[in-house]
Amino acid sequence: MKSAPHYHRQLFLTILLVCGLAALIGRFYLLQIRWHDDIAAEADKFSRTRRLIQPWRGEIRDRNSQPLAWSVPVVDVYANLVVCKDHVESVARVAGPFLGVEHRRLLKSMYEGLLPMDGGPKDAVILKRNVSIPEWESLRNALTNSNFGMDVERLSRRERAALTSLRKHALFVRETQMREYLTGDSLQHVIGAVMCSPGRLTPEGHGGIELRFNELLSGKPGYCFSRKSARGEELLFQRYEHAAPVNGSSIDLTIDFNIQRIAEAALGDAMDRTGAKSGAIVIMDPTTGEVLALACLPAFDLRNPHAAPVDWWRHHPVSTQYEPGSTFKLITLVAALDLGLVSLDHRVNCERGYWARVKLHDHKAFGIQTLRDAFGNSSDVGLAKIAFVIGPERLYHCVTNFGFDRATGIALPGEPAGYVPHWTNWAVHDNHLLARVAFGQGLRVTQLQMTVAYCAAVNGGQLVRPLLVRQIENADGEVVQTANPTIIRRVIRPETSALAREALAVVTRPGYTGWRANLNYWTCGGKTSTAQKSTTKGYISGALYCGFIGHAPADKPRMVISVAFDEPRNGSPSGGAIAAPVFKDVAEAVLAYLGVPPDKLPDSDRRGLQLAGSGAGRGNKPAHAMQ
Amino acid sequence: MKREVAVILFSVGTLAVTGALTMNSLTITHPTPSLLYNHIAYIGLGFAALGIGNLIDYRWLNRWRVPNALLVVALTLLVLVLVPGIGTEKNHARRWLLFFQPSEFAKLAIIIWLADYCARNLEFMHLRRVGFTKPVLIGGFTAVLVFGEPDWGTAVLMGLVMTAMLWVAGAPTFHLVSAGMIGIELVAHFLVRNSDKFTRILVFLDPWKFADGDGWQIVHSLLAIGSGGLLGKFIGDGTHKFGFVPEQRTDFVMSAIGEELGFVGCVLVVLLFVNIVVAGARIAWRMADPFARFLAFGITFLIGTQAFINIGVATSCLPNKGIPLPFVSYGGSNMVVALAGIGLLVNLARYAPLVPVPELPKTERKAAAESAPVFIARRSGTCACPACKARNWFPGKLCWIYKTSANESALRPWQRAPMRSVRCDT
């Protein structure tokens, strides 16, 4: 054996060590040069994060720039289940009163989050959405000062750490926004509710303008790309791309909030009085087509739409189709007048209430009348005869000209096209459809379609598109788009329109069906309707649809008001008895509000001029504007 | 040996600066830079230890009973740290005694003891009992204590270093290899019994398969190193320090360096360690005193092996073990002990004779006792330059160390360098 020192052994070990270290250089070469691109791409996946920056949702205003709906900052409160796993009950007990939720309910959602179901035990569950900032502040203070049922005096180190993290991290929030409304009980269907869909983080419109212009209102979300830590926290100083959000545009409606309130107050009273299933008022400017008010009852709460039954979410004047009934006689009359087939002074035989040829009943027995009176009395027989004079093809074309076969194009979701059977099919129905179309049966329209057609009939014969949105401003307050009145087509001649206004004025005269609509200080015109509701099996007995469409003043209409009630229960169910007085109340208040000069003396002042027993005195108490 | 000393000090300094820069970037997001300040304080302490290791007379370590005392102290501390009430437990391991790790101290102590043992029994190292049984039992006992903390990495490291030193000192190869195989079998036995550690082996074999769980650390270490590229993302711009690589301050500091300094930085770090190893080996080579030679070799081998294992773990060349990178990682005990070792190395380098010391004839022990202390190298007064005086001022105050060290040195007189051959390096 060779004796010490063993230089060769030392040399060998040293060289071995140096070779080992040199081999590491090769390893570094592989990792950092050869495989660099793949590894860098893989590493990037772990550290990249994208955060959505919510844009501020735009306002909805009325035509006077009065904000109706706007956004306020709120927070969504979440429970951090990782932290409060073992203290769920005490956390729920602390948070419950501040969130205004029963603590058992909180407990339930937290326990459900802890269950290994639906994607396993979750890290966090949402406790409540849309908590205002002061509420959250007070809740956080309460959490910081709470002991969570522990005895602070005697705690082990571990328990103390748990208590500290509970106080700090038990609940956390996500900042978001909530819709605030001028009044929650007004214009619900037009504005529409804004909610977060499950699984979405940005609030979305779920009805009305909010849904239709959701993209515009919600704006464009901003993104920022940055690095994150292993816990998923964004590292602000490692942000490498940032796209600022574009805030939502604001929308000015054509609706005048004051007129809307007038309409809603009158409608509410009338709903109470009549006990109808639903009611609606549409107020339009006939010349421009601007919708001044759009009231619909019953309505839901905009802040909590789910509290109301789903039926109440339906926007009846825009979405619900019904058989128009007598209001549609206006179209028949106008068609005949425009074609020059009849004049208002032509006489028509109303067959004493029953026309055997087409098995048609009138609500009252009328003899031979001028067309003006037959229209004023709403004689089905008289108008059916006019329809036979016009003929199915020409009547059909007139009806479609008035836009009953398609949607009006108002900026609201859920508007159906009308249903008008083609004239070639009119004869195949067992009951002669030509006669029934003449007084508004056998076709389905919406209240808005009917109102728009009425506007065309009284405004000089031009069919206008109903306007709901007046202008759109972007987030900087610049007007991006202004809606101009759109004339779709000329439907009738202006002279015919004048005749139509004359015939409509007759209806509201004392003694005719719409006498209750007669205004005190303004001339007006209108048409009642009392329609039976139909199903596929036929007409339902006792289910009526009572409406009235009128305009004022009579010669130069400033507005068209359409009132409709679905299945009123109290009082005599007819358009003249139920809807016409509402028209009168609303019209007087609105005309006073618009400052339209009175063009007539009150009826009481010229009582001597009136025929005795015409019934004009009964309904004509001096009306005050309902404000 | 001036050149070797310069190389070692340059490498160590550069590594310490690199470590401080890395610590700076690792604590860049911390609310207070206390960790960085700690690290810098450790470096300061470590260089103080380096100075002390440089200034003391190394022969004092070779005195009768001193290495034994060191070993006893190390063993006592190792036993103490295992006592549940005394040792501090972190990460399921009981490694800390108040603020320092006895296992780090034990590494140096066992090297000193073994160097002393080998130097004393130099002639008989080829015998089984002297060269194998006794040192392996004692060293093995120390390693088992460390093993039980549990600190497998340090235990394996100590075993490697002790085996290497024994082999270099002339221990029988056959026995060492046999014992090594038994040791490997023992480790494998514990590995299979201990599912946690066995998972580490599985993870080592295919880290990507366990990327979400146990392989997270090693996978992200690889991702960090690989995403560095040639030149790295520059100091402070790494993204893996945000919690992706656990223990990045200590065991996986190489991943931070690899990401921020790139291939160039990694190669530089490896080359600095190669520098230390080569320079240390050259110093050991030139030592006339067997104790000094074994000590120098042991320290060099310890630092080199530790660096190799640490970097190998970070690059997934070796299964996961918790060993810090000397001079670079965060951690006071390791830093101070490693730098103290370097101090000893530098100290030893001063004693390299100008000419290779010829093999001296073996003499009777008796003759050694009788020989007059003519050849005793007197350190003080060797040179009258002001630097020497300044250097010898503090040891002069501690005169019991100073005086007795020369007289009671374990060096046989004929093993000491002749008077003229001692060179003043200051």
Taking an 8 Å cut-off on Cβ atoms, the answer to whether B274 and A21 are in contact is yes
CA distances from A482 to A64, A122, A254 (A): 14, 49, 11
Residues of B in Cβ contact (< 8 Å) with A28 = 225, 258, 263, 266-267, 270, 315
pLDDT at A612 over 50: no
**What are the distances in angstroms from CA A265 to CA A187, A273, A576, B153?**
12, 12, 20, 84
pLDDT digits (tens, 9 = 90+) for A463-516: 999 999 999 999 898 999 998 999 999 999 999 999 999 999 999 998 899 999
Mean pLDDT on A182-199: 88
CA distance B170 to chain A (A): 6
Q: What is the pLDDT of residues A403-436, one digit of tens each?
A: 999 999 999 999 999 899 998 888 766 567 888 8
Distance from the Cα of A78 to chain B's closest Cα (Å) equals 24
pLDDT tens digits for range B121-171 = 988 888 888 889 999 999 999 999 998 888 889 999 999 999 999 999 989
> What is the per-residue pLDDT for B188?
86
Instruction: Give start and end residues of each alpha helix (H) in A151-283.
Output: 157-169, 188-191, 208-212, 214-218, 257-274
pLDDT tens across A260-275, in order?
A: 999 999 999 999 999 9
Q: Which of A149, A179, A209 is at the close of a domain?
A: A179
Q: Does A26 touch chain B (CB under 8 A)?
A: no
Average pLDDT, chain A: 88
- Beta carbons of B107 and B152 less than 8 angstroms apart: no
- Which tens digits make up the pLDDT trace of A439-463? 998 899 999 999 999 999 999 999 9
Per-residue pLDDT at B395 exceeds 80: no
A33 in a structural domain:
no
- A7-16, A225-234, A524-533: segment of lowest average pLDDT: A225-234
Q: Which of A179, A198, A232 is the last residue of a domain?
A: A179
Asked whether B259 and B230 are in contact (CB, 8 A), the reply is: no
Dihedrals φ, ψ of B76, to 5°? -60, -45
Neighbours of A345 (CB within 10 A): 9
- Buried-state track A491-511, b at ≥16 Cβ within 10 A, e below 16: bbeeebbebbbbbbbbbbbbe
Query: What's the ipTM?
Result: 0.82
| Signed CA dihedral, B234, B237, B238, B243: sign only | positive
- Both tokens of B383, joined, read 């040179």
- pLDDT tens digits for range A22-78: 999 999 999 999 999 999 999 888 888 888 888 999 999 999 999 999 999 999 899
On whether both A152 and A275 belong to a single domain, the answer is no
User: Predicted confidence band at A149 (pLDDT cuts at 50, 70, 90)?
Assistant: confident
Strands A278-284 and A291-297: antiparallel
pLDDT value at residue A547: 94
Question: Measured in whole angstroms, how far is the alpha carbon of residue B48 from the centre of its chain?
Answer: 16
Q: What are the residues whose beta carbons fall under 8 Å from the beta carbon of B333, sequence distance 6 or more?
A: B100, B101, B104, B105
Q: A161 lies in a domain?
A: yes
- Looking at the DSSP bridge assignments, the partners of residue A279 are A297, A565
Q: How many angstroms separate the CA atoms of A461 and A117, rounded?
A: 65
Question: What single letter denotes the amino acid at residue A448?
Answer: L
A47 CB neighbours in chain B (<8 A) are 239-240, 242, 244
Cα separation, A56 vs A478, whole angstroms: 16
| Least Cα separation, residue B343 to chain A (angstroms) | 20
Q: Which of B220, B242, B277 sits opposite A14 (nearest CB)?
A: B277
Task: Return the minimum-mean-pLDDT range out of A159-163, A305-309, B266-270, B396-400.
Answer: B396-400
DSSP string of B290-349, one letter each residue:
HHHHHHHHHHHHHHHHHHHHHHHHHTTSS-----PPTTTSS-HHHHHHHHHHHHHHHHHH
Cα A350 to Cα A361: distance, rounded to the nearest angstrom: 10
* Torsional class of A605: left (φ above 0), alpha (ψ -120 to 50), beta (otherwise): alpha
Residue A329 near residue A453, CB atoms below 8 Å: no
Last residue of a domain, one of A179, A213, A232: A179
| Nearest residue of B to residue A228, measured between CA atoms | B242
Query: Are residues A448 and A344 part of one domain?
Result: yes
Contacts of A10 in chain B (CB under 8 A): 168, 281, 284-285, 297
Q: From A30, which residue of chain B is nearest by alpha-carbon distance?
A: B226
Report chain A residues whose CB lies below 8 A from the CB of B290. 4-5
The whole-angstrom distance between B308's CA and the closest CA on chain A is: 6
Residue A417 token pair = 């096209």
- The residues facing B118 across adjacent strands are none
Cα–Cα distance measured from residue A271 to residue A264, given in angstroms and rounded to the nearest whole number: 10
pLDDT of residue A605: 55
CB-count burial class (<10 Å; 0-12, 13-18, 19+) for A417: middle
What are the φ and ψ backbone dihedral angles of B99, each rounded to 5 degrees? Answer: -115, 0
CA distances from B177 to A11, B91, B188 (A): 18, 34, 16
CA-nearest residue to B274 within chain A is A18
Q: Rounded to an integer, what distance in angstroms lies between the CA atom of residue A291 and that of residue A255? A: 6
- Residues B220 and A31: their CA atoms lie apart, in Å, by 12
A34-45 as b/e, with b when 16 or more CB fall inside 10 Å? Answer: eebeebbebbee
Q: Which two tokens stand for residue A14?
A: 């040293």
Residue A624: predicted pLDDT: 46
**Percentages (nearest 5) of helix, strand, coil residues in chain A:** 40, 25, 35
CATH number at A487 reads: 3.40.710.10
Name the 3-class secondary structure at A91: helix
Query: Residue B279: what residue type?
Result: A
Lowest mean pLDDT among A485-499, B51-65, B412-426: B412-426
With CB atoms and an 8 Å threshold, state whether B225 touches A18. no
Nearest partner of B239 among A42, A35, A37, judged by Cα: A42
Whole-number pLDDT of residue B404: 46
Cβ(A611)–Cβ(A511) below 8 Å: yes
Q: Whole-structure pTM over 0.80, yes or no?
A: no
How many angstroms separate the CA of residue A158 from the nearest CA in chain B? 14
Q: Is A48 on the interface with B (CB under 8 A)?
A: no
Give the confidence band of B354 by pLDDT, cuts at 50, 70, 90: low
Structure tokens of A552? Answer: 């004022």
Residue A6: list chain B partners with CB under 8 A: 167-170
> What is the mean pLDDT of the segment spanning A368-392?
92
The answer to whether the CB atoms of A6 and B301 lie below 8 A apart is no
Residue B89: both structure tokens together: 């437990």
A51 vs chain B: nearest CA distance in angstroms? Answer: 18
For B273, name the nearest residue in chain A, comparing CA atoms only. A21
Q: Give the alpha-carbon dihedral of A609, A612, A618, A622, to 10 degrees.
A: 10
Chain B contact present for A12, CB below 8 A: no
Say which residue, A234 or A252, is predicted with more confidence. A252
More confident residue, B2 or B44: B44
Q: Is the pLDDT of residue B96 over 90?
A: no
Compute and round to an integer the Cα radius of gyration of chain A: 36
The CA–CA distances, whole Å, from A176 to A77, A141, A170, A205, A210 equal 10, 21, 20, 15, 17
Q: A132: domain range?
A: 75-179
Residue B58 to residue B67: CA distance in whole angstroms: 11
Element (H, E) at B169: helix B152-169
Residues from chain B that touch A230, judged by Cβ atoms under 8 A, are 242-244
Cα Rg of chain B (Å, integer): 22
Averaged pLDDT, A124-152: 88
Question: What is the C-alpha separation between A304 and B14, in angstroms, rounded?
Answer: 68
pLDDT for A586:
96
Hey, are the CB atoms on A46 and B169 less than 8 Å from each other?
no
A36 domain-assigned: no
CA B7 to chain centre: 17
Number of structural domains chain A divides into: 2
Q: How far is B216 from chain A (nearest CA, A)?
A: 11
**Residue A164 clears pLDDT 90, i.e. is over it:** no
Percent of chain B at pLDDT exceeding 90 = 49
In a domain, A604, yes or no: yes
Cβ pairs bridging A and B (under 8 Å): 143
The pLDDT value recorded for residue A615 is 44
Residue A520 lies in a domain: yes
Partners of A29 on chain B (C-beta within 8 Å) are 263
Q: Is residue A161 located within the same domain as residue A270?
A: no
pLDDT for res B375? 42
Looking at the complex, report in whole angstroms how far the Cα of residue A49 sits from the nearest Cα belonging to chain B: 12
Judging contacts by C-beta atoms under 8 Å, the chain A residues touching residue B222 are: 31, 39
**Residue B150 pLDDT:** 85
Q: Which of B223, B234, B316 to mutate: most A Cβ within 10 Å?
A: B223
Residue A276 exposure: Cα atoms within 13 Å on the Cβ side: 30
Which residues of A are less than 8 Å from B326 in CB distance?
Answer: none
Over residues A343-371, mean pLDDT: 89
* Helix, strand, coil percentages for chain B (3-state, nearest 5): 65, 0, 30
Which of A336, A352, A347 has the alpha carbon at shortest distance from A399? A336
Domain assignment present for residue A462? The answer is: yes
Q: Do A31 and B243 touch (CB under 8 A)?
A: no
- Return the residue in A19, A28, A228 with the most chain B beta carbons within 10 A, the one to mutate for interface testing: A28
Chain B residues lying within 8 Å of A14, measured CB to CB: 277-278, 281, 300-301
Closest CB to A17 among B227, B293, B308: B308
Residue A617 confidence (pLDDT)? 41
Of A6, A36, A238, the CB nearest to B168: A6
pLDDT tier at B353, thresholds 50, 70, 90? confident
